[in-house]
Structure 1
């Protein structure tokens, strides 16, 4: 037996020929009331002076558990009668949407402005996408929603925002093989697309002909999972569709370009021609490349406004673009999915605004940053090999990296004195949450007195 579920009546009609359909309604009133009360009140009990408002609002939610969650959390954030009256009297209930979408839009309208903006751009991710926290936070940083300033590390601020969106019911937190992820309900993704429609465009290739494009569109994401293999017919079809699209979309004005799925190499030239005039990008997200990024974006080396760059590949011979060391405004570099050659540009320390450099699980790319001390905003340095070379890897390189949340110091046997170790100034790194101190187990000689003095000089703050 095959069970098909859908929100769309047209799909139900297509499968009805081989079976029968059941129209699912909302929860029964009593069960819905119990659920709603739990979302609004800790003890599930409503004070008498609010019963009238509660009953009226419940009527508008049509028994939807999702609406109960978002509107319930909305009422919970402000227990005053004035707030509940504003929710009940909102014009959003009269817009003609179904009760569920009206409830979700209402919950969005009452969010603080900074949370609205952060939710808004989640429309760029595909439906049913499982977000990692770094992906969402990196996007917010790249779009200047979350700006590194003051003493607060951006990642911790971003996590607080993400947690607030979970509390308000706009994301749910789940685990995949022990890896925490965030997900959105389909209706909330639909809401994100609606509220972001003037600025954001999310395409699923090859079907782009009927897509409505606003002249104000600045952020584009493309899903290519259904593109298929390249042949002359499919290539011509895609080229024709993109040429039509280009007459309506000003690619030179794009600030965000995100690509999801793997593209057959035959389509690369078509995309390269389509994006030939891109030059104002702040965000570039290409996590599954089969060919060098320069073939997809001919002007890649000229993207000097980039704030967030994500590149990934499984092609072992692909090189990291040397031009990334010239992106002086770059705040986040994400190479977690990079399985190509690990040859980093030698002048990476030019990226003075870099806050996050995410690397594959072996963390070795961190160990290749020459003069890392220039990256004063960096929040993680998982592998720092002390005195790896004659210069550029001394303990004093760590002196001004006061924003570090994670640090790994290796080959500590190469430090000769306590004074040299003290130059790292670990005690002053008050945001440090994880610290690794490592001596090579295969070192040629052991000097307990020197190593004890070095360890004492590497003492971190007491809250670690």
Structure 2
């Protein structure tokens, strides 16, 4: 039966610190019901740190090279028995080149899988969870929003426990449904409507009950997720933008659609429709994103609702009948995507609303007028500099993701996409300019421009984009009529992360940078100069309290402003910086948790004045300190004398500059002489 916790147990083993230390290489891949030797070999390689090595070679050869001589742990999650599984031996031959002590851990619902893979003697059958554990799960979910458990509802729990047949996922789903019910009548109705899980039905009836209990707009939002393949890592922000693009989120006078979308996601996650929610960081300057996955049984529910409206293709197809006239949302991640679309649309005319092409496309698309119903489009264009579609057929488009494409520019007529809300150019490494007439794209809310090193300026008139909430990078060009000055952002309500590049081109920079620091919804600000030069832009910089992360590159000033509300401060190549802060008296940094100092060649002291801090720690909550290539720094800050507990009723005085420090990394500090020694005195 599904939903017993097989994947959860495998993940616990995989993430165990002792396991992580023991193996040289750790790989985790979800196989699901599409076992294909080449696709699986490719997925295993792409789960490794060497995913971009030898990409032109056959997947099995890459896999063999990856594991050769390495003591590895490979987790194959959710393997199904099908005719392709009989080709397991081909995969096994490659895996046998691993080092001694390598292991393969597989989860499956079918004991025949263990037999085929030759592991039936070592198979561990995960039993159903005992009733008292199921009861704890249901009660924890059902009563999470109340202080006391109503006695009249608690007595009904035992009846509901029996219907879960030991499945923790079923218990989570039912508990989440019950959380929204407050009367005995409502609870008894749920108990009577929930079927007892059997081997034939599994827990699908209970999961379907959980789905049916959702409001209509939440049903639509979740069912749309059937467009993604099983075990696909979904970017939460992009998912919400796709919901908005397709009109699934109801409007509200006081809240933005993004805020409502986040509330919908949070509610669905609390009901176990989404799992494995984690925050990760991209390779570009720590740009973070939140991702999630969907349990394969929950995915089955979404598929049963959407039917043939959602189509996900992850392997090459020999036939084109897969695309029916009822298809509305397509996900393609396979070779020859262009050929598949061209051949399919030659015979059919489905009203496609969402097209997500997750693999690179190199040749042009045909039948362009048949894309005129698109609301959301993702393309990764490689090997050609041109946009593959015509803007004149994309009037309904609200979401356009061209991230990781090799395009140099877009056609100017793309500015006629007046309904476009999201435009993603992230990691388009060859993009050197944006459309000049972008000022007419007045519906634009999110513009992603990070990872575009050749972008030298921003188009004129950006102040007209009054709905813009997200702009990841603004490049200040040489002043002139063909580009926007950063003053264009003055009245835009930007939030999240913003990087200002080529700050040396900003005229009257001190006031304009100060304006960026005062945007109330901005959480992270990066200021980047092309090279170190004379500057006093940050001498009096005092950002608002909501700004949490500040990153500075190649600033030419000798000192910084008032940054005591920061949670993270990162300073790189600020070679003329003599001291961190200019102030008349020492102050504390009550929120600072991360401090990174790199290539501060002139850095001599922490602040201008030399005043001993006796009573309070200057960095009371600092957890991570990284210092490198600070050749003139002699010592850490003067340690404060702090009082701490010692024995029964006693106390001790301890000198500590960083009482909460967990991680310290120091290198290439040629003049460094002293860490203020810990000194203790006893008292009563």
Could you say if the C-alpha distance between residues 91 and 389 of structure 1 is closer, same or farther in structure 2, counting changes exceeding 3 Å?
Answer: same
**Cα displacement (A) at 1:95:** 12
Single out whichever of 429-438 and 365-374 deviates more from structure 2. Answer: 429-438
- Whether 1:64 and 2:154 are equivalent positions in the alignment is no
Matches within 5 A, 1:271-420: 272-273=365-366, 277-286=370-379, 288-292=380-384, 297-299=388-390, 302-313=393-404, 315=406, 318-322=407-411, 323-361=413-451, 367-384=457-474, 388-391=478-481, 392-394=483-485, 396-402=487-493, 404-408=495-499, 411=503, 414-416=506-508
Q: 1:50 aligns with which of 137, 140, 153?
A: 153
CA deviation map 1:85-114 (0-9, x unaligned)? 232232777999724111111111112223
- Uncovered stretches (5+) of structure 1, i.e. residues with no partner: none
2:371 is paired with a residue whose SS is: coil
- Larger-gyration structure (1/2): 2
Equivalent-residue separation in structure 1 for 2:376 and 2:134 (angstroms): 42
Counterpart mapping for 1:42-121 below 5 A: 42=144, 47-90=150-193, 98-121=201-224
- Matches of residues 5-16 of structure 1 in structure 2 within 5 Å? 5-8=107-110, 11=113, 14-15=116-117
Query: Partners of 1:191 and 1:216 in 2: how far apart?
Result: 19
Q: Deviation per CA, 1:327-368, whole angstroms, max 9, x where unpaired?
A: 221100112242333332222222111000122346875952
Who is 2:132 aligned against? 30
CA distance in structure 2 between the aligned counterparts of 1:371 and 1:24, rounded to whole angstroms: 62
Q: Aligned-pair distance for 1:379?
A: 0.9
Instruction: Choose from 171, 174, 185 the match for 2:278.
Output: 174
Structure with greater helix percent: 1
* Larger deviation, residues 355-364 vs 97-106: 355-364
Distance in 2, matches of 1:386 and 1:273, equals 38
- Following the alignment from structure 1 to structure 2, what is the Cα–Cα distance between the partners of residues 113 and 313? 35
Change in Cα spacing, 1:320 to 1:6, as seen in structure 2 (3 Å) is farther
Instruction: Quote the Cα distance in structure 2 between the aligned partners of 1:187 and 1:205.
Output: 21
SS in 2 for 1:336: coil
Q: Deviations over 1:391-426 (max 9, x none)?
A: 4534542343135454455637844499x7599698
**Pair 139,242 (structure 1): closer, same or farther in 2 beyond 3 Å:** same
1:259 aligns with 2:357: yes
User: In 2 relative to 1, CA 340–442 (structure 1 residues): closer, same or farther, beyond 3 Å?
Assistant: closer
* Residue aligning to 1:195: 305
Gaps of 5+ in 2: 1-102, 282-287, 548-684
Question: Structure 1 residues 37, 193: CA separation in 2 closer, same or farther (over 3 Å shift)?
Answer: same
Single out whichever of 326-335 and 201-210 deviates more from structure 2: 201-210
Q: Which moved more, 1:199-208 or 1:44-53?
A: 44-53
Instruction: Give the counterpart of 1:133 among 236, 243, 254.
Output: 236
> Conserved in 1, the CA contact under 8 Å of 2:447 and 2:472?
no
| Bigger proportion of residues as strand | 2
Quick one: structure 1 residues 244 and 156, their matched pair in 2 at CA, closer, same or farther if it must change by over 3 Å? closer
- For the residues of structure 2 that align with 1:445 and 1:176, how far apart are their CA atoms? 34
Q: Which of the pair has the greater relative contact order for Cα pairs under 8 Å at 6+ separation?
A: 1
TM (normalized to structure 1)?
0.77
Q: Structure 2 matches for 1:199-238, cutoff 5 A?
A: 199-207=309-317, 209=319, 215-224=325-334, 227=335
